[in-house]
Structure 1
Amino acid sequence: MSYIKPKFQHPNMPKNALGYTVGDYNGAISTLCAGCGHDSISAAIRNACFLSSIPPHRIAKLSGIGCSSKMPTYFLGRSHGFNSVHGRMPSVATGASLANRELTYIGISGDGDTASIGMGQFIHLIRRNVNMTYIVANNGCYGLTKGQDSATADLGAVSKAGNVNPFDGIDLASLAILQGASFVGRSFSGDKEQLEPLIRAAMAHKGFAFIDVVSPCVTFNNHSGSGKSYAETRKALDAMPLDFVPMREEIRTQYEPGTTQGVTLHDGSVIHLHKASNGYKTDDRNAALLSVQEARDEGRLLTGLLYLDPNTQNLAQNLKLASKPLNSLSKDELCPGSRMLDSINQGLR
């Protein structure tokens, strides 16, 4: 049986600054399980791109293997896409971003694709500070292969088969902060009010932006004893409400002094952290890491913008690459002639 989305759109649907409706950012109909948190993440990405007025054809979606890596099919159907092999999406993202710096890159991964087979590539993606938004749909299990525990499963969590996980789970947000990621956030798939502005801020950030999204697996990991079920996540959630204000809009807030923190991004946009604790500083890497760990020790899930380096330089800047995308350079620009090549060779002797 096949399913086709209707192409009709109500003539009075709201439009963004480019004249697009949110329907212009849709993808194919999802084949994931009904109620899967991944679909909520897909919707949040779609809405974030619509609200930020990013042309769909100027976005590149990249993924590996897993339930999460099927997600790019379900949003931004008019965008570029590349589904790589298991755990190897970071290599493709690095090469693509260096070839064309004018696209907005969104990497979609899962806890298996990132925290297990792809861990080595993930670490080097952070180290190189590739200019992209990297989202992990984290459900603590391998949904495509019948729900075995993944590397992010919580210590003591009980699988659907009744097995108790004897290993401490990898905290990807803490790892990203520790390894030097310039933007780190965490959210819950069921909290669109927090997730959408967080994604918008990540896409506006010039550098590697990582978001760990707890996304319960309704088939294999949404039962009593699971550490990443809907009920357990909502119970442990310690949310930091926020909003994102692009530079082209008036930047203001109605919150009283001392109850909000405004963080300015590279392009002049501002992300507001509402009712954040007075001592929390998003630009303090050590404090951010400590806050995440303290929350985890207390059984809480700290979400929101956890860390931001406002002065970071991405990979293309560090390598001093030409501002013009490599894929648009002409033959004359790529080969300057024998005289110039001789001069370069002389300088290397």
Structure 2
Amino acid sequence: MTYIRPKFRHPSAPTNDLGYTKREYEGALSTLCAGCGHDSISGAIIQAYFELSVPPHRIAKLSGIGCSSKTPTYFLGKSHGFNSVHGRMPSVATGANMANRDLMYLGVSGDGDTASIGMGQFVHIVRRNLNIVYIVMNNGCYGLTKGQDSATADAGSKSKAGSVNPFQPIDLAGLALELGAGFVAQSFSGDKPQLIELIKEAVKYPGFALINVISPCVTFNNNPGSTKSYDYVREHIEATATVDYVPLKTEITAAYAEGTGTDVEMHDGTFIRLEKLAAHSNPYNRLTAITALQVARMKNAILTGLVFLEPDPTDLHETLDTSEVALNKMTETDLCPGKQELENINASLR
């Protein structure tokens, strides 16, 4: 059995603005379970970066440990990559971003990698507003160790083994909002059109962008009683909005009535279209976003779409006033200004 994709592609395959086909954004063939939601997310990532015409060599993809963290092998095979240790991807991503701000960063994690062993690192990458797209493939269980409940498993959810989870779940979207994240979205691996658009907007967002994706585990957490199974999610989705690109138009505000729509302007001048389906679905209001998540949770609903957007973020480079030149492009003179400069710095600290 081979895990290498065939090199043949149809000569009429569509190309993007760079002249690339989707082949340039693919990776090896997946070895995950057939039907795994993570593969759908990988497909959405491939499609999003292909449509954005991002040069693959400008992307740095990072992951931790888990089924989700295996997926970077299956997409963006011509980009930079680093598979870190369990729960430590945020610190590796931070170091890489600080050293080379010219790359575009994509972090891929799971509910165990982020909400359990990696929780401490996750909260700091959020509050520091590192410029990264952070995708959580959330299936509520530990697939690599035979399906134990993870920290995001809902209270009362039944595992494949028949045990019922007695603990309240960690709400990653709600936590990110509390910590000040400027771009918070949720989606479902089975809703690929919505997920592609959310990824495209997250890539364009100049700051920390979280997309929490419910991604059912077909082997260990797709059984009756699981609140992260395909059937349950399809029956309990409550979309905040339909998301799509629209042409640049005249300036508008976010004040709009229930049942109507609005164009939300992104930082770079592009737009996404929001159709308000609920009275409190205002993506610019953090408190409203937190309330919407809590209301959906009380109704046992899964809120999907763009939950919150901070239109004018300040990323970590701006906060720390770092050099606009990436460290890997600096000369020895730039990095080591000499003994006299060091003495001047030490004197200023006395």
Which stretch shifts more, 266-275 or 140-149?
266-275
In structure 2, the residue matched to 1:251 is 248
Counterpart code for 2:243: L
In structure 2, what is the Cα distance between the partners aligned to 1:35 and 1:252?
40
Q: Give the SS at the match of 1:14.
A: coil
Kept in 2: contact 1:61–1:81 (CA 8 A): yes
Kept in 2: contact 1:216–1:228 (CA 8 A): yes
In structure 2, the residue matched to 1:77 is 77
Counterpart code for 2:310: D
Kept in 1: contact 2:40–2:190 (CA 8 A): yes
In structure 2, what is the Cα distance between the partners aligned to 1:252 and 1:11?
37
In structure 2, the residue matched to 1:172 is 172
In structure 1, the residue matched to 2:50 is 50
In structure 2, what is the Cα distance between the partners aligned to 1:206 and 1:22?
25
Kept in 1: contact 2:280–2:292 (CA 8 A): no
Counterpart code for 2:42: S
In structure 1, the residue matched to 2:184 is 184
Given the superposition, is the C-alpha separation of residues 213 and 238 from structure 1 closer, same or farther in structure 2, using an over 3 Å criterion?
A: same
The CA deviation at 1:116 is 0.3
Q: Give the SS at the match of 1:292.
A: helix
Which stretch shifts more, 333-342 or 161-170?
333-342
In structure 1, what is the Cα distance between the partners aligned to 2:166 and 2:24?
46
Q: Does 2:61 correspond to 1:61?
A: yes
The CA deviation at 1:276 is 3.9
Q: Give the SS at the match of 1:303.
A: strand
Structure 1 unaligned blocks of 5 or more: none
Count residues with an aligned counterpart: 342
In structure 1, what is the Cα distance between the partners aligned to 2:70 and 2:160?
23
Aligned pairs for 1:23-172 within 5 A: 23-172=23-172
In structure 2, what is the Cα distance between the partners aligned to 1:166 and 1:232?
19
In structure 1, the residue matched to 2:333 is 332
Kept in 2: contact 1:111–1:138 (CA 8 A): yes
In structure 2, the residue matched to 1:204 is 204
The TM-score with structure 1 as length reference comes to 0.95
In structure 2, what is the Cα distance between the partners aligned to 1:184 and 1:275?
17
Q: Deviations over 1:80-117 (max 9, x none)?
A: 11000000000100000001111111100000000100
RMSD: 1.5
Counterpart code for 1:102: D
Kept in 1: contact 2:189–2:215 (CA 8 A): yes
The CA deviation at 1:302 is 0.8
Kept in 1: contact 2:244–2:273 (CA 8 A): yes
In structure 2, what is the Cα distance between the partners aligned to 1:260 and 1:346?
59
Q: Give the SS at the match of 1:19.
A: coil
In structure 2, what is the Cα distance between the partners aligned to 1:339 and 1:161?
68
In structure 1, what is the Cα distance between the partners aligned to 2:173 and 2:335?
40
The TM-score with structure 2 as length reference comes to 0.95
Q: Give the SS at the match of 2:97.
A: helix
Kept in 2: contact 1:63–1:109 (CA 8 A): yes
In structure 2, what is the Cα distance between the partners aligned to 1:132 and 1:124?
13
In structure 2, the residue matched to 1:295 is 296
In structure 2, what is the Cα distance between the partners aligned to 1:277 and 1:3?
45
In structure 1, the residue matched to 2:230 is 230
In structure 2, what is the Cα distance between the partners aligned to 1:11 and 1:275?
42
Structure 2 unaligned blocks of 5 or more: 251-255
Kept in 2: contact 1:201–1:244 (CA 8 A): no
In structure 1, what is the Cα distance between the partners aligned to 2:212 and 2:347?
49
Q: Deviations over 1:184-214 (max 9, x none)?
A: 0000001011100100111111111001000
In structure 2, what is the Cα distance between the partners aligned to 1:230 and 1:101?
38
Counterpart code for 1:3: Y
Kept in 2: contact 1:200–1:244 (CA 8 A): no
The CA deviation at 1:168 is 1.0
In structure 2, the residue matched to 1:311 is 312
In structure 2, the residue matched to 1:260 is 261
The CA deviation at 1:310 is 1.1
Q: Deviations over 1:142-162 (max 9, x none)?
A: 000110110111110111010
Q: Deviations over 1:301-332 (max 9, x none)?
A: 11101011112101111000000111211101
